[in-house]
Structure 1
């Protein structure tokens, strides 16, 4: 059985505390590459909010229950070139991905359960430090915009 190609549409979920500490996770397949939660749609018709909730749970164990822990859709999309090292996961000729940005505010002491096959460790960092540590420019930019989306003026 062949593995289907990844869909070039994904979510980015910035996890943060009320005082804007940001949770970053280190990729298992690329040690030293730190990021927020990311993941592609499983099916073309999967709602983005469902993708975000699924990836949040799969990668951190955090459940967005809609009452205490609520995913916020920023209604912001980034289109970027897929890193050449990961293009083999997509259909031939696919070089760009559309990423939809979400955030979720959680208590600092929330238990984090990483997927061992995807991530090595996690760190809570002040948002400026977190942005500096991200390997993805769109992830860093989302973190830098966090206060504007969490505390709009």
Structure 2
């Protein structure tokens, strides 16, 4: 008899991958074409360290294994979209998302998992925020200049 799939933990990481020039990587969800996002994913275990979860998700979703990871010390609590609630235990309606930034020296080509993501794009941070389907992801991207030491920000 197949083992039941465990429910997702309602705690996740969001990793804004960017360059020093504030170019941001967005990836398109395979299960929802047109939904562009940063790297994101739930903890695998309740006691998994947030930074470990962030690196795991970055490796799984992009293949990147280097760069400067920073915990921004931000957490968003949001309502889980109704069409994704079946992944969580009955009655769970909110998720806590911890925000990280990962600075790469330059824009690079990610190795996408086709079952999760179908396309990628590097955009200036304001354009990336505009393209995100998730309000918390867009807001995190707009915070990028605040959390990127030495970044030069051009007016929009």
Q: Which TM-score bucket, shorter chain as reference?
A: over 0.9
Question: Please, what is the CA RMSD of the aligned residues?
Answer: 1.3
Matches within 5 A, 1:75-114: 75-114=73-112
TM-score norm. by structure 2 comes to 0.92
Closer, same or farther in 2 for the Cα pair 1:10/1:60, shift >3 Å?
A: same
Is residue 23–residue 107 contact of structure 2 (8 Å, CA) maintained in 1?
no
Per the TM alignment, residue 147 of structure 1 is displaced from its structure 2 partner at its CA by 0.2
Quote the Cα distance in structure 1 between the aligned partners of 2:122 and 2:108: 11
- Shift of residue 70, structure 1, vs aligned partner: 1.9
SS of residue paired to 1:54: helix
| Aligned 1:4-153 pairs, distance under 5 A | 4-64=6-66, 69-151=67-149
Q: Partners in 2 of 1:89 and 1:36 — Cα distance?
A: 20
Number of positions where the alignment pairs a residue of Structure 1 with one of Structure 2: 149
1:108 is displaced (CA, Å) by 2.6
Instruction: Provide Cα deviations, 1:4-53, integer angstroms capped at 9, x if missing partner.
Output: 00000000000001100000000000000000000000001100000000
State the secondary structure of the residue aligned to 1:43.
coil
Whole-Å separation in 1 of the counterparts to 2:68 and 2:51:
10
Mapped to 2, the partners of 1:135 and 1:109 lie a distance apart of 22
Using the alignment, how far apart are the partners of 1:94 and 1:137 within structure 2?
20
- State the alpha-carbon separation in 1 of the partners of residues 107 and 52 from structure 2: 24
Moved over 6 A (4+): none
Give the equivalent residue in structure 2 for 1:3: 5
Q: Matched residues in 1 for 2:123 and 2:58: separation?
A: 18
Q: In 1, Cα distance between the equivalents of 2:149 and 2:71?
A: 14
